[in-house]
């Protein structure tokens, strides 16, 4: 990968809180225009990583670069090139949705049209509503709107669809695809594995402060992790066999018994199955509250 193709670079990133290590040597790169999903359980180090890259939190050691700038030294001009959607936000509840977006749009040289953004996040009917009167999911959409109003080159999305109903989540996915088509680089954390599969070009899985795997969404965990599993029951109990030729195994079972075995099923591991295998293989080292 050429240096000019890279938007985000992380090398041996470490973060310690006293004797607790939240990040322990994390390294990855994200290309310009790529959507990268950072996956992991609570307390794994996802939010700590993002906060360091946003410049909100200092690292203990290692190096980081976002758009060619060290986040610890990024100034106002650099920050204006970023869009940030935190897990929670402190927006004022005594202004309307449109007023809040209009206020934030004034910080940027070339903001997106305010009403276009309101439409994109599904708040057209709530544009004149005070933020304090919105539901939790609707407030989350305001957070997303504030993150994209400035046409960011890099967009950080930390669990952006928490509180969204299924229809709102799918509308959000279309918005992210639009931003991606415009060349926006996106770093996404999410607990929804279907969301990562829908939006991500690549994913990194972090557990216990370490990156345990990284690759294209359909390659995470390696080829062996995606080999189908044949399950069945007989007089000896339950059985399962991982095989790249499940049809052959089923045919042999039928030949032996003269009928289809009880409880027969062929399971093709999903991204969620692969993810769970990866994170369960490592016991998280970070206590709850030490930084996600």
Q: Write out pLDDT tens, residues 62-105.
A: 999 999 999 999 999 999 999 998 876 655 678 999 999 999 99
The number of beta carbons lying within 10 Å of the beta carbon of residue 71 is 22
Structure confidence at residue 280 (pLDDT): 77
Tokens 């009167």 belong to which residue?
133
Beta bridge partners of 39: 205
Structure confidence at residue 286 (pLDDT): 41
Please tell me what DSSP assigns to residue 93: S
For residue 147, the SS3 value is helix
d(CA 284, CA 41): 8
Could you tell me if 194 and 248 are in contact, meaning their C-beta atoms sit under 8 angstroms apart? no
Could you tell me if 271 and 39 are in contact, meaning their C-beta atoms sit under 8 angstroms apart? no
- Smallest CA-to-CA distance from 145 within 120, 108, 178 is with 120
| 69 phi/psi in degrees, rounded to 5 | -120, 140
Q: Which two tokens stand for residue 149?
A: 């109003």
d(CA 20, CA 285): 8
- Read off the pTM: 0.80
Could you tell me if 65 and 9 are in contact, meaning their C-beta atoms sit under 8 angstroms apart? yes
pLDDT above 70: residue 2: no
Structure confidence at residue 86 (pLDDT): 82
Cα–Cα separations (whole angstroms), residue 130 to 98, 104, 118, 123, 133: 9, 16, 14, 12, 6
Mean of the pLDDT values across residues 134-163? 89
* Helix residue ranges per DSSP H, 215-288: 222-225, 246-257, 271-280
Structure confidence at residue 147 (pLDDT): 92
pLDDT, tens digit (0-9, with 9 covering 90-100), for 97-121: 999 999 999 989 889 999 999 988 8
pLDDT, tens digit (0-9, with 9 covering 90-100), for 240-270: 998 889 999 999 999 988 999 999 999 888 8
Structure confidence at residue 289 (pLDDT): 45
Please tell me what DSSP assigns to residue 141: H
Tokens 């199955």 belong to which residue?
273
For residue 97, the SS3 value is helix
pLDDT, tens digit (0-9, with 9 covering 90-100), for 220-243: 887 777 788 999 999 889 999 988
pLDDT above 60: residue 292: no
């Amino acid at each position: 990968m050429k240096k000019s193709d890279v938007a985000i670079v992380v090398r041996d990133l470490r973060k310690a809180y006293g004797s607790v290590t939240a990040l322990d040597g994390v390294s990855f790169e994200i290309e310009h225009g790529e959507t990268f999903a950072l996956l992991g359980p609570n307390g794994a180090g996802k939010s700590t990583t993002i906060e360091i890259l946003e410049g909100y939190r200092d690292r203990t050691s290692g190096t980081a670069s976002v758009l060619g700038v060290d986040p610890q030294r990024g100034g106002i001009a650099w920050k204006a090139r970023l869009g940030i959607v935190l897990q929670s936000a402190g927006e004022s509840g005594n202004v309307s949705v449109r007023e809040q977006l209009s206020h934030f749009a004034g910080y940027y040289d070339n903001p997106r049209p305010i009403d276009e953004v309101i439409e994109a996040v599904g708040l057209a009917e709530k544009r004149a509503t005070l933020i304090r009167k919105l539901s939790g999911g609707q407030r989350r959409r305001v957070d997303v709107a504030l993150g994209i109003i400035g046409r960011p080159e890099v967009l950080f999305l930390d669990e952006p669809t928490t509180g969204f109903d299924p229809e709102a989540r799918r509308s959000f996915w279309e918005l992210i695809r639009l931003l991606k088509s415009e060349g926006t680089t996106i770093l996404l954390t999410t607990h929804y594995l279907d969301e990562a599969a829908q939006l991500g070009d690549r994913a990194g899985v972090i557990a216990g402060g370490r990156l345990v795997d990284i690759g294209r969404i359909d390659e995470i965990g390696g080829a062996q992790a995606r080999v189908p599993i044949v399950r069945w029951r007989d007089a000896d109990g339950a059985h399962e066999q991982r095989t790249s030729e499940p049809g052959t195994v089923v045919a042999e079972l039928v030949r032996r018994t003269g009928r289809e075995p009880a409880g027969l099923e062929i399971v093709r591991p999903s991204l969620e199955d692969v993810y769970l295998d990866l994170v369960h293989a490592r016991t998280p080292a970070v206590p709850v509250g030490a930084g996600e």
